[in-house]
Amino acid sequence: MTVTAFDDSVEISLGSNDTKVKILNFGATVLSWKVAGKEQLWVSEASKLDGSRAVRGGIPLVFPRFGPASGNHPATDKLPQHGFARSVHWEVLGQVDENTVQFGLGPEQLPAEFAKAWPYDFTLIYTVQLLEKSLKISLDVKNPGTQAFDFNVLFHTYFSVPEVEKIKVQGLSKLAYFDKVASAQVASDSSDAVTFNQEVDRVYKKSPAHIEITQDGEPLYTVDASNLKDTVVWNPWTQKAEEMSDWAPKSGFHQMVCVENGVVADFNTLQPDSSWVGGIVIKANM
Ligand code: TA6
């Protein structure tokens, strides 16, 4: 096990078999997760990696708001889509143990526009642990201030897949979801899995903690969430991929699926002198 700190990132390596994870200090974004030399995450070839905008791919962190301004949440409506966490430089707090590193974020690291838009005292501790075939990530949100604040949080994971049209996301069947493509609430997902032959953008409220991404009946990935009650499933498909300037290759939506765990359907409210922690364990079934 080795942990190497670079100017712009930290890498945890399990050594000989090329199992490693690279986390950019910018956004504390997991940029690459290799298991036995095989990349598990999708990153756009046109993604900015210079801090000029959020990474398009990997595992961006959504905080403190999910989605665009809604007009009905003044405390976060002045923030950009998906909040600021993925678009600011985090502090590398250091190595917790041989395969675990931590990043921190507080008001002092926010650009003035974000600090003004969301003027709360907060501390975020982001922990990434690399195991043989899985990645364990958690976020600890602390409120050291005197004002309660609301927040959304989402681990916006872009999984790499051979061909999304052969993929099933299982564990969400029969559940209600909000279909962002149709802007409609769907009472129950009648199919036994989410499949992909068009744009999919769904928010499942109060979803199970265990989700599987399968191909031909075999799990490619399993996702286990803790203290994250909602799941987002997204594939932009052709038109949205065309519209995103940082999406390349344009056909790349065939090689990815986003299965994202968080608290997005409603806001968490964190009282002064309290904290909240949630996280995911994603496992590559190689
Ligand atoms: O998580 C799915 C989603 O909310 C989609 O609606 C789409 O907007 C995606 O996030 C990407 O958002 P971004 O701000 O990264 O372009």
Judge whether 73 counts as a catalytic residue: no
Phi, psi of 9 (to 5 degrees): -165, 170
**Residue 64 pLDDT greater than 90, yes or no:** yes
The pLDDT assigned to 17 comes to: 79
Hey, which of 63, 154, 156 would you mutate to test ligand 1's pocket, going by the most ligand atoms within 8 Å of its Cβ? 156
pLDDT digits (tens, 9 = 90+) for 74-88: 999 999 999 999 999
Judge whether 91 counts as a catalytic residue: no
Q: How far does residue 235's CA lie from ligand 1's centre (Å)? A: 9
Cis peptide before 64 (omega within 30 of 0): yes
Q: Is 216 helix (H, G, I), strand (E, B) or coil?
A: coil
Q: Is 1 helix (H, G, I), strand (E, B) or coil?
A: coil
Cβ atoms within 10 A of the Cβ of 184, count? 9
Predicted model pTM: 0.98
pLDDT digits (tens, 9 = 90+) for 128-160: 999 999 999 999 999 999 999 999 999 999 999
Give the chain's mean pLDDT. 97
DSSP 8-state secondary structure symbol assigned to residue 183: T
Ligand 1 lining (C-beta closer than 6 Å): 54, 67, 81-82, 156, 180, 201, 232, 234, 258, 260
Q: How far does residue 87's CA lie from ligand 1's centre (Å)? A: 14
> Which residues are 20's β-sheet partners?
13, 34
pLDDT digits (tens, 9 = 90+) for 99-127: 999 999 999 999 999 999 999 999 999 99
